[in-house]
Structure 1
Amino acid sequence: MNMKNIFITKNKDNLSFGKILFNSILLTAFLILIFWISLAKINISFNFFFVNEFKIRIIKGFLMTFYLSLGSLIVSLIIGVVTAVCHNSKILFIRYLAIAYVKFIRGTPLIMQIYLFFYIIGTAWGIDNRFFAGILILSIFEGAYISEIIRGSFISIDNSQLEIAKAVGFTKHQTLKLVIFPQLIARTLPALTGQFSSIIKDSSLLSMIAVIELTQTMREISSLNFKLFECYIFLGLLYLILTLPITYISEILERKFNYEN
């Protein structure tokens, strides 16, 4: 076999298992080498024995982040769909409300929104459960971005396709199910994947309202054992455990709903 063929491909969708495995191992070895050289240059050695000592707290923090992210993912998707629909409402009040919501959320930082929604609005309306408050805050924040992803994808669908569907006798339900919905999935999935990953990472800011999620847990552990680098590197690995499956599932769905060819 020509060695050049191991590293080069002309068709990205037709890669052999051997090529994928070889290049994945090569990439991993390269990254580990760069990281190891960097550590050697600054004379740092890592000790991860603290993981076993604090494993119960780490598991609780991990599960809290998982539940927060899962709840926020579902609620933010609902908010995003509703807002995208309201954005084109014939009732001006509803349309302007959706536009104002998106502009406000996208134009202000999440840190400010956490303080606003929890300590002012949440206190005024008696929302004192920090877990549910965290889900609502994250969902409101991410929902604005998801609504724009969905709205932009819908706008990108050629109107001629809707006219053709109408001409062949499709009902509105059939047009939505057979024409619009499959294309929306294919066009929104890449952006939604990034947004869902952002939900997981943005949940770390909920430590500001004393939600003991993963980042806050590792921050507390590092203050006890003074192993700052080890704690945050391990934290990054735990977040990868949460975000990588989303990317993998998205790639599967993208291939399933790819109708371009």
Structure 2
Amino acid sequence: MKKIFLLSLTICATALIYVSCSSNDEIANQTDTSAVGASVAIDAANEMDIKTALSVTTPAQAAKATETGPATCAVITVETPNGTAYPKVFTVDYGTGCTINQLTRKGKLKITLTGAVITTGSKMTIERIDYSIAGLKLEGTIEYTNTTTVATVPQWTRKVTNGKFTDLQGRVYLNTGIFTTKQTAGVDTPYVLDDNVYEIPEGTHTITTDKGGTLTLTVKETLVKKYSCEFISKGKLQVVGGYLNGVVDYGNNDCDSKYTYTHENGTAYTLSM
């Protein structure tokens, strides 16, 4: 695996975010800033679990021989409960700890396919069972549904329901959201994942903190996510909630953990996952 797969470890080590601003600035409110960091961490974890599901369910004989996935140290089982090709159920069991490149996962992912992910109308459902990444507990279900209408531009909706994120301090963030994802590169090699590039042109993600605060993040400028990178590398989110009213900017398409938050008054904050 590439070094960039240390994302969750970095999130863990930095307690979600660093904020480079004056400590007496009223915008640097602990509830709000931690919610921004939690939201980015949750979204990153969702993308990582989708990546795991894609790597597990992609036919091995057609995938690149050099391609490895985050499930390589897990125990993987496959069932066809109806005795037919689909539905097909994959269980990725990380047990009490499965570590790759210093990133430890525990618990299970249950991945159910109603059909091939590249087929219009098919749904991939990811359920988390006693599951954590680098000590960050994740609950809820991700539904990844193929909504393609133009064959040359594959498209999916990514819906999160009953999301629950518990950080290392025991703080809980409930979350829901739905995004539209389009594949803009790698379409000609459907069973080779490493050359895939995805764009997220629209969607909204809502975080509710354990203190009752709500933060809503909406796609403002199309997000860019490369399969080969664990980070969203480009695009902007509008952030609204509490003291916050501004924009998260993921940068200029570099694969790194940095992003910025700029408040409506022009004050900029340097953040890192």
Give the TM-score category using the shorter length: 0.3 to 0.5
The structure that has the greater radius of gyration is 1
Higher relative contact order (CA 8 A, sep 6+): 1
User: What is the TM-score with the length of structure 1 in the denominator?
Assistant: 0.34
Higher strand proportion, which one? 2
